[in-house]
Structure 1
Amino acid sequence: MTAVPNAFDDPAYRQGVIDLLGLLAYGEISACERLAEDAKLAPELATKVEVAAMATAEFHHFEQLRDRLVELQVDPFEAMRPFVSTFERFHRQTQPSTFLEGVVKAYVGDGLAADFYREIAAFLDADTRELVLSTLSGTGHSEFVVDVIRQAIADDPKVGGRLALWARRLMGEALSHAQAVVAERDALTAVLVGSVDRPGSGMDLAMIGRMLTRLTEAHTARMEKLGLAA
């Protein structure tokens, strides 16, 4: 990775990127932890391996983000600390009660993360953008969930309705928590919408609204792929 770019001469931008990397890093390690628990509930060895592969991919993403924070001479664990309570609250409020709910949660999270990374990458400096896109390239490990859920619905059609409600709840909670995080972190907001010193460097409020619409539409498409009414 190349030297820290000139964008980091702006203290607000630097802090915003640190917040963003801390947010993403804790999200990855948190997902890894939850998936490791889900793997224990897998009904078959093949499925257990697939879930474990997802957990491994999340950990590798975390390592990339952690290493970038170290490059920036930032303690990665301090950078993650402000986001711990938000993620833990989200997981408490979306605790799956079955293996199927667990893998739907993983599928929703994996897809939402990929969509979000893709949206924000354009507004970042070259090195951070490269890292975010590299992390994005490692998503998609949850595709096996499609077959698992479609088979479960074929075996018991009632499962579909319950999981569709669960998926809607997950998406609502995820967007709500994400908006709360951005609202609480001024530097992170500055990266997304552009700071006073860097006009036009980010998204305006209308663009953010359109981004949220696109995230929701992509979620709906994924739920249709699963065979669920979103």
Structure 2
Amino acid sequence: MADADSENTGIAGQDWATASAQPQYHAAVVDLLGALAYGELAAFERLAEDAKLAPSLADKAALARMASAEFHHFEQLDQRLLEIDAHPTEAMEPFAKALDEFHRQTAPSDWLEGLVKAYVGDSIASDFYREVAARLDTDTRALVLAVLDDTGHGNFAVEKVRAAIEADPRVGGRLALWARRLMGEALSQAQRVVADRDALSTMLVGGVADGFDLAEVGRMFSRITEAHTKRMAALGLAA
């Protein structure tokens, strides 16, 4: 793992204009922003769909507001890709198939499964991108952290899921199994995406930016798993 000095003197201490002089770093950031942008667009679509399953008008309105926030994040990433001379659609395209397949394989069967999926899936993705953000140039890091801002969905999901379990404790077992499946699928998808993109994987395992070494990649996924366990406890579920 890069130490504090290397983080201050390497890519993580540079602005975009300086850091992007490295072609491979530029390519890695385009990949990263493309993956994030498609993720935000997919999150917008999913929340809009989940709103249709909402049991009350208040819940429907709450999810609609969250969907709007996700789309605003997408617009920020779309604009940034244009600013760094990348075509947003082309930047997103390599990640669309994997993310679409993840959503196809993990389609929720009801309102509560949809809430858990958004909470678990979005949180794992956010944890992953925050880990990567620590090694980015200052301008890109600020953008990535801004679009990872909580839209309020986490607290909303915790409140609704805990209330449902309190009303019917049997719901907890079903949702715990569902959350474990989501965790496995999400981590597998993240690893596949990174492995398929040379610039992105090089940035993670070293060679570009203040990269992770392979051992640090393992520790990163351990930290993501630990955070997932804490979130499951917040939901009232066993990880």
TM-score bracket for the superposition, by shorter chain length = over 0.9
Does the 8 A contact of 2:16 with 2:137 survive in 1? no
**Secondary structure of 2:20 counterpart:** helix
Which blocks of at least 5 consecutive residues in structure 1 are unaligned?
none
Q: Is 2:222 aligned against 1:213?
A: yes
Distance 1:118 1:73 in 2: 24
Q: List alignment gaps of at least 5 residues for structure 2.
A: 1-14
Deviations 1:180-228 (A, max 9, x none): 0100100011222232xx4x72101111111101101101100100101
**Residue of structure 1 in register with 2:109 after alignment:** 97
Could you tell me which residue of structure 2 aligns to residue 110 of structure 1?
Answer: 122
Shift of 1:4: 4.0
In structure 1, the residue matched to 2:62 is: 50
Q: Does 1:160 align with 2:172?
A: yes
Query: Does 2:189 align with 1:180?
Result: no
How many angstroms apart in 1 are the aligned matches of 2:229 and 2:109? 23
Identify if the C-alpha distance between structure 1 residues 67 and 104 changes in structure 2 by more than 3 Å, giving closer, same or farther: same
Question: CA contact under 8 A between 1:152 and 1:159: conserved in structure 2?
Answer: yes
Q: For 1:222 and 1:167, locate their aligned partners in 2 and report how far apart those are by CA, in whole Å.
A: 10
Alignment partners' CA distance in 2, 1:187 and 1:7:
14
Matched, 1:30 2:42: yes
State the shift of 1:118 in Å.
1.9
2:77 is matched with which residue? Answer: 65
Residues 193 and 201 in structure 1, CA contact (< 8 A), matched pair in contact too: no
Alignment deviations for residues 58-107 of structure 1 (CA, whole Å, 9 cap, x no partner): 11111111111000111101100111100110011100001100011111
* Aligned-partner Cα distance in 1 for 2:61–2:34: 28
The letter for the 1-side match of 2:156 is F
Q: Distance in 1 between matches of 2:219 and 2:184?
A: 16
Task: For residues 23-66 of structure 1, give each alpha carbon's deviation from its aligned partner in whole angstroms, at most 9, with x where no partner exists.
Answer: 01001101110110110000011111221122112111111111
The answer as to 2:152 corresponding to 1:151 is no
Look up the SS of the partner of 2:136 in the other structure: coil
Q: State the Cα deviation string for residues 111-134 of structure 1 (Å, max 9, x = none).
A: 223322321111101111111111
C-alpha offsets along residues 104-162 of structure 1, whole Å, 9 cap, x if unaligned? 11111232233223211111011111111111234443311111111111111110000
Q: Which amino acid aligns with 1:67?
A: Q
RMSD value, Cα: 1.6
Percent of aligned positions with the same letter in both sequences?
Answer: 64
Residue number in structure 2 paired with 1:123: 135
Residue identity in the other structure for 1:93: Q
Contact 2:158 2:234 in 1 (8 A): yes
Give the letter for the 1:17 counterpart: V
1:19 and 2:31 matched: yes
What TM-score, normalized by structure 1, do the two folds share? 0.94
Aligned residue identity for 1:90: F
Amino acid at match of 1:192: L
Contact 1:32 1:56 in 2 (8 A): yes
Hey, what does 2:11 align to over in structure 1? none
